[in-house]
Amino acid sequence: MTDSRVFVFRARAFAAAALVLMAAAAAAQQAAPPAGPAASKRAWPLTRPEATNFTETSRYDEVVAFMKAMAAASPRIHLTTYGYTFEGRPLPLAVIGAPGATPEQVLGTGKTRIFIQGNIHAGEVEGKEAALWLLRSIAKGERTAWFQQVVLLVNPIYNADGNERVSVRNRGSQFGPIGGMGQRANAENLDLNRDNTKLETAEARSLARLLTQYDPHIAIDLHTTNGSDRASRASCAATCCRR
């Protein structure tokens, strides 16, 4: 059972990454050139799933540290924050394809703006990890041609408070990660995916401000299934097709 759960988590994470990459590639309309020799030889940091054979998922501090490392590696990646969680954690945002991270700098490009959000339900971890892999791919120079026409706005960890409440019991029907995952609700026990009208939570109010200021043309909100056998096979199929 343990090996099976590791495999399914790995398959879903790769499938989520593939969907994110394909969506951005379709908007960009042309293939990226291969990474240069310096990028290919560099020792790039691993995400927590990669470092633990896909048995664990990244914590908030690890996500932020990974994003900072990618920004330090690539002048194309600009970091900012767009609000706070109920417990006061800054919500990180990576901006790629604009001269800076402010709304004015992004809107001034005239490019298609794509917002990618992971971890609205903190037990559904694959989108969070896929967003980090995407940032690493960009830092390596593998997606350069995209940004002739596209600006990406990436927040891998929207429900940052829920992400830190790791337990293997949070999603009992989900196969992995076997080291546990965050909870569905935020620290107030409110579902952020049900707070798009009343805006009762600090996170939802922060997101509303981001969407108003940056005005993305496309928004991609990354989720994970509840672990049904059919969904697992579908995830594996998507991974195989991508490969």
pLDDT tens across 160-192, in order? Answer: 999 999 999 898 777 778 899 999 999 999 999
What's the pLDDT tens digit per position in 99-151? 999 999 999 999 999 999 999 999 999 999 999 999 999 999 999 999 999 99
- Listed in order, strand segments (DSSP E) in the chain are 77-84, 90-96, 112-117, 150-155, 218-221
> Does residue 93 surpass a pLDDT of 80?
yes
What's the pLDDT tens digit per position in 49-65? 999 999 999 999 999 99
pLDDT of the residue at 42: 80
pLDDT of the residue at 23: 58
**Average pLDDT rounded to a whole number, residues 15-41:** 55
pLDDT of the residue at 12: 61
Residue 84 backbone class (left: φ over 0; alpha: ψ -120 to 50; beta: rest): beta
- Across the chain, mean pLDDT equals 85
pLDDT of the residue at 237: 39
In order of their start, the domains of the chain are 2-32+44-242 (3.40.630.10)
**Letter for the amino acid at 39?**
A
Token match 């759960």: residue?
A: 5
